[in-house]
A = this chain, B = another copy of it.
């Protein structure tokens, strides 16, 4: 039973992939580069793909930066705090239609390898401000996929498997530790230093640190840095 997993190199998608593997899926890892400020994530994604024992990994570049619209896509500083747009409550790091683009590309590959699922590491708690991290959004994508594809037409609909959807960061980490994952392979920082070390100040670093703290687990990246 094949699944395409959207693998970023961060700890959420690694954990989601591992949960899918534990449930019996054979994994095809899709890593999408969309104009991030740094390439450290790609290295992490390759390491994570190896650790997950995926059948194939593909890296695809999609220049979402050509459209602008997010602080994650520009040349500017990533805001230290998750600044919210006052009107909508949507963070400035929100990338327009990001998950729709990612799921669509995964869908294209899923059709070719006859996958029964797309695995995505979104969670609705930490990313509550992102419209495309909500359960009702994922359900709508599943309905779209059933109409969009050959498999759907033939009565083999594809599911969106988002095992972290209702977990906190701490719960995600506990789940991964129970599965024996090495989070030292992962990368979360939006703005790593030139030596590749996490900044410990950006939103993503702080969410990660809080998650490990609340999980009662030492972050292997921190363990390594202090040893």
Contacts and interface: CB of A to CB of B under 8 A. Distances in A.
A147 B133 CA distance: 10
Interface residues of A, number: 48
Contact of A64 (B68, B97, B100, B108): B108
Interface string A97-109: 1111101110111
Copies in the complex: 2
A136 interface: yes
Interface in A63-91: 63-64, 66-69, 85, 87-88, 90
Given A66-B60, A108-B67, A109-B67, A99 B148 contact: yes
A76 to B, nearest CB: 15
Contact of A108 (B88, B101, B109): B101
A171 interface: no
A69 B152 CA distance: 16
A140 B131 contact: no
A100 B107 contact: yes
A87 B141 CA distance: 25
A27 B101 CA distance: 21
A161 interface: no
Contacts of A112: 67-69, 96
Given A62-B62, A101-B104, A109-B67, A90 B144 contact: no
A153 interface: yes
A20 to B, nearest CB: 19
A197 interface: no
Interface centre among A95, A100, A111, A143 (most CB of B within 10 A): A100
24 contacts: A62-B62, A67-B108, A67-B112, A87-B154, A88-B150, A88-B154, A94-B150, A96-B107, A96-B112, A97-B104, A97-B105, A97-B108, A97-B110, A100-B148, A104-B104, A131-B147, A131-B148, A132-B147, A137-B147, A140-B140, A140-B144, A143-B143, A143-B144, A144-B144
